[in-house]
Amino acid sequence: MRYRTIGADPARRREVSVLALGAMWFGSVTDERTSFAILDRYVEAGGTFIDTSDNYAFWVDGGQGGQSEKLLGRWLRSRGADGQVVIATKVGARPLAPGTGYHDNAEGLSAKVIRESAERSLERLGVDRIDLLYAHIEDRTVPLTETVGAFGELVAQGTVKLLGVSNHAIWRVERARALAAASGVAGYEVLQYQHSYLRPRQDVPDRLFEDGNLGHAGAELRSYLRAEPDLTLVAYSPLLAGAYSRQDKPLAPDYDHPGTPPRLQALRQVAKECGATVNQVVLAWQMGGPFPIIPLAGASSVAQLEENLAAVDLELTGDQRARLDAAC
């Protein structure tokens, strides 16, 4: 395994593995025995960065989520692993009531919700501190000053180590970070967005955002990361839910554009040259990029995890990376 540092402040930054493990389905779609086996193998291979959310996976049973955090808590206790891994979780997108969703009934990012949600996550995880806490989705009904202050207070209290943000417009990320700096409190240092080798259209309407899908790491976000080297991108859904390798998992409609076929062709050619799978090349391409990217890949079996882990040792040549980057 290889590692990289997230966070800039020496008092709060953490070293994590270059491949993060997504725990979205653990405790719901993926049963406890399989989830524990995946977690055990990940840690055995040197993995130290596990991602969840307080609302995972509310859509499975029509509840409010929490299954993933609870399972991780049971695993941490049974393995004595608290302190050995970095657990990231998220607040703000938990449905207010069972049978609803975060599209129009999310808890949001008020100071009260942030404080109470963090307390519930601590209890479910069975830990006394959250390593990394994200603002999961935007809440434009609450002043940014209130949200920033509430997150900063959690860090000042020692309840949270590092802060992150996901699925926000970049101008709001920058504004929040500026407000935090002006107030002398901790700000967002890790950004979690959907990012893969294939590039989606950015103008496809989204039911959450009137300005398009703010969850994708588009050109503006990539430019921002290049200008802010202390920030890290955690790239969720890097393997597009299996669409690179499975015939039963077609690409989403926003990848249906002329740029997709040449990038797929380049990807498959490089995979053939490396004797690797297409998934492994995607992950290696992300891990070796020009700015810090940590791919966040889930797994529903140990075999899937093994494929992902092998990407850590895959080194693309300069020529291969150049061809991948140039394809369009």
- CATH code of 242's domain: 3.20.20.100
Average pLDDT value for the chain: 95
The predicted-structure confidence for 105-118, as pLDDT tens digits, reads as follows 899 999 999 999 99
Instruction: Confirm whether 235 is domain-assigned.
Output: yes
Instruction: Confirm whether 123 is domain-assigned.
Output: yes
Residue 232's beta-bridge partner residues? 190
CB of 158 within 8 A of CB of 211? no
Question: What was the pLDDT predicted at 221?
Answer: 95
Question: What was the pLDDT predicted at 104?
Answer: 78
Read off the pLDDT band of 212 (50, 70, 90): low
Residues taking part in catalysis: 56
Read off the pLDDT band of 103 (50, 70, 90): confident
Question: What was the pLDDT predicted at 209?
Answer: 54
The mean per-residue pLDDT over the stretch 289-313 comes to: 96
Exposed/middle/buried for residue 171 (C-beta within 10 Å: 0-12, 13-18, 19+): exposed
Question: What was the pLDDT predicted at 213?
Answer: 65
Residue 6's beta-bridge partner residues? 14
Instruction: Confirm whether 99 is domain-assigned.
Output: yes
Question: What was the pLDDT predicted at 210?
Answer: 53
Q: Whole-angstrom Cα distance, residue 100 to residue 202?
A: 27
Q: Whole-angstrom Cα distance, residue 134 to residue 56?
A: 14
The mean per-residue pLDDT over the stretch 229-245 comes to: 96
pLDDT of 258 higher than 90: yes
Residue 321: count of CB within 10 angstroms of its CB: 17
End-to-end CA distance of the chain: 32
Choice between 315 and 207, residue whose per-residue pLDDT is larger: 315
Instruction: Confirm whether 124 is domain-assigned.
Output: yes
pLDDT of 208 higher than 90: no
Read off the pLDDT band of 195 (50, 70, 90): very high
* Total tally of structural domains belonging to the chain: 1
pLDDT of 142 higher than 90: yes
Instruction: Confirm whether 260 is domain-assigned.
Output: no
Instruction: Confirm whether 59 is domain-assigned.
Output: yes
Instruction: Confirm whether 264 is domain-assigned.
Output: no
Q: Whole-angstrom Cα distance, residue 262 to residue 328?
A: 6
Read off the pLDDT band of 29 (50, 70, 90): very high
CA distances from 32 to 26, 62, 170, 229 (A): 7, 19, 37, 38
Instruction: Confirm whether 220 is domain-assigned.
Output: yes
Tell me what percent of the residues of the chain surpass a pLDDT of 70. Answer: 97
Range of the domain at 183: 3-255+279-320
